[in-house]
Structures are given as C-alpha cells and as structure tokens.
Amino acid sequence: MASLTRRALLGGAVLLASSARLRAMAPVSLAEFIELSQRLLGRSKLDTEVAHLYLTALLADADSAVTLAYLVQSNGNPTAEQAALSRTIIEWWYTGVYEVDGKPRLATHSGALMWNAMRMPAPGTCAAPFGAWSQPPQDRV
C-alpha cells in the first residue's frame, strides 16, 4: 500500500516535470500553431480556443509533437510525416473533431469549417427564411 502510494506520487511528479519541461521547451507556441493552420487552410480567421485544443492534443503525443515542431519550421518539401500531419490538422479544423489517445472528441459543432465550405450554419441554428430550402442552391465559387 505504502509503495503504491509512493509510486503514484512519483508518477505524478514525473508528469508534472514533463509538462513543465514541455512548456519551457515550447516546441510550438499557440501563435505558431495558428499561423501554421492559417497557411494550411488558406484562411485568416481561426478560433483561438479550438486551436488551443488541437495544439494541446498534438503536443500530448511525443511523435506528433516532434513532427509538428519540424512542420512549423519547414519551408516546403514536406516529408511524408509532415504531409500526413498537415492532412490531420486540416481534417480536424474541417470536421471539428480531433483525437486524444486515439479517441475522437468534439472541439466545436458550429465552428467546424465544413459548414463554412457549405455556406450554411451548423444544424440547430436558424438558417434562412422560411421556405429557402425550396430554392436552388446558391452558385458556388
């Protein structure tokens, strides 16, 4: 019992130290991640809170944290890992769903960029005047 408690305490200390080290090392800052996302998405306005969720999830995984740091620093010619991570980041922004430990989580319902691409609000929000759905869809860019 005593050793279990000690181990738990030690584990906690290690965790604390590692997250502190992560912050101190700051492999990628929130500003850098937003800038990267803007570049990948071709959009300027991005939700900071959603960006924070995505960045935290990526930094929590050692492999993706390293790849993300390289991706932020790269100037083109992405490696296979960097291209794959770029696709993941784009997918997260468009669907509003990201992953932590392989499990999906919702970052945002109304802020998922797919609704923006479809030029309509996410379901659950009044969308248009009564009967607008009977008109042809608007012309797209």
Partner 1 sequence: MPWSADVVIVGSGVAGSLVACRLARAGVKVVVLEAGPRVQRTAALAQYRRALIKVPESPYPDMPHAPHPVSDNPDRYFLQNGPDTFASAYLRQVGGTTWHWLGTTLRFVPDDFRLRSKFGIAVDWPISYGDLEPWYGEAERELGVAGDPEAELQAPRSQPYAMPMIPLSYSDQRTIAALHGTPYRVVATPQARNSQRYDNRPACCGSASCIPICPVQAKYDATSHVSQAERAGAQVVADAVVTRVDVAADGRISGLVVTRPDRTEDRATARVFVIAAHGIETPKLLLQSRTERLPSGVANSSDHVGRNLMDHPSQLNWALAGEPLGMFRGPMSTAGIEHTRAGDWRRDHASFRIQVDNRGWAWPAGAPESTARALSRRGLRGADLDRAIADHSSRQITLTPMVEQLPSPANRIVPDFDQRDAIGVPRPRITYRIDGYSKRALEHGRRIAREVFAAMRATETHEAPGYVASGHVMGTYRMGTDPKQSVVNPDQRAHDHPNLFLLGSGVFPTGAASNPTLTIAALALRAVEEIRKSV
Quote the least distance from Cβ 37 to partner 1, whole Å: 12
If one asks whether residue 104 binds partner 1 (CB under 8 A), the answer comes out as yes
If one asks whether residue 77 binds partner 1 (CB under 8 A), the answer comes out as no
Helix (H, G, I), strand (E, B) or coil at 131: coil
The CA radius of gyration of the chain, in Å to the nearest whole number, is 20
If one asks whether residue 135 binds partner 1 (CB under 8 A), the answer comes out as yes
**98 bridge partner residues:** 105
* Sign, Cα dihedral of 98, 88, 140, 43: positive
**19 bridge partner residues:** none
Nearest residue (CB) to partner 1, 3 versus 130: 130
Quote the least distance from Cβ 70 to partner 1, whole Å: 19
- The answer to whether 58 and 73 have CB atoms below 8 angstroms apart is no
- Choosing from 15, 17, 60, 117, the residue that interacts with partner 1 (CB under 8 A) is 117
- Choosing from 29, 56, 79, 110, the residue that interacts with partner 1 (CB under 8 A) is 110
Quote the least distance from Cβ 82 to partner 1, whole Å: 13
Cα dist from 104 to 8, 54, 98, whole Å: 28, 12, 6
Footprint on this chain of partner 1 (rule: CB under 8 A) = 40-42, 83, 87, 90-91, 94-97, 104-106, 109-110, 112-120, 122-137, 140-141
